């Protein structure tokens, strides 16, 4: 292959890896992830991970939780030194771009729950790059907040 096809080859390889893991990212998603990886440190963003976090915000807006974890897995695979930083920033992305827009979700109760339960984001940080476990962590958190709302509000 010519060097002009290198990005497509990388996307193809990543798609194959994801398929073997049961991933759901589309070719377009993987291209966006690769682009965010390439744009690491781009001056258009305040932080080096700005392009990647923008991609995660878009997935959150679309309520594509599994894809957030898949993209995170790819990103920290390429940039392992970012593991702690990325894991600690997934929760704020969800707080601002996922939970407020969930249908029938008591967002005000969620805010109170986060104050009441200080370690609420730990399961998210622990599973941010493992799609099945990440989905489970989000489902458990959502259910805990709904229970909290019923019992306390």
pLDDT tens sequence across 38-90: 655 656 655 667 778 988 999 999 999 999 999 999 888 888 898 999 999 99
- Examine the pLDDT at 117 and tell me if it is beyond 60: yes
Residues whose CB is less than 8 angstroms from the CB of residue 42 and which lie 6 or more positions away in sequence, other chains included: 50, 51
Kindly report the average pLDDT of the chain as a whole number.
Answer: 86
Residues 139-153 have pLDDT tens digits of 999 999 999 999 998
The dihedral over CA atoms of 107, 108, 110, 112, expressed in degrees to the nearest 10, equals: 170
Alpha carbon distances (Å) from 15 to 2, 42, 65, 152: 20, 25, 18, 45
Does this model's pTM top 0.95? My answer is: no
Write down the domain spans for the chain. 3-152
What is the pLDDT, as a whole number, of residue 51?
A: 79
């Amino acid at each position: 292959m010519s060097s002009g096809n290198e990005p497509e080859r990388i996307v193809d390889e990543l798609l194959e890896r994801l398929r073997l893991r049961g991933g759901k990212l589309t070719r377009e998603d993987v291209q966006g992830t690769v682009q965010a990886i390439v744009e690491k440190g781009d001056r258009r963003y305040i932080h080096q991970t700005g392009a990647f976090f923008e991609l995660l915000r878009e997935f959150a807006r679309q309520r594509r939780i599994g894809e957030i974890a898949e993209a995170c897995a790819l990103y920290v695979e390429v940039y392992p030194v970012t593991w702690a930083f990325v894991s600690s920033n997934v929760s704020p992305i969800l707080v601002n771009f996922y939970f407020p827009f969930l249908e029938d979700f008591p967002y005000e109760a969620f805010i109170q729950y986060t104050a009441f339960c200080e370690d609420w984001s730990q399961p998210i940080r622990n599973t941010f790059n493992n799609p099945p476990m990440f989905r489970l962590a989000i489902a458990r958190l959502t259910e805990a907040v709904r229970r909290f709302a019923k019992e306390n509000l």
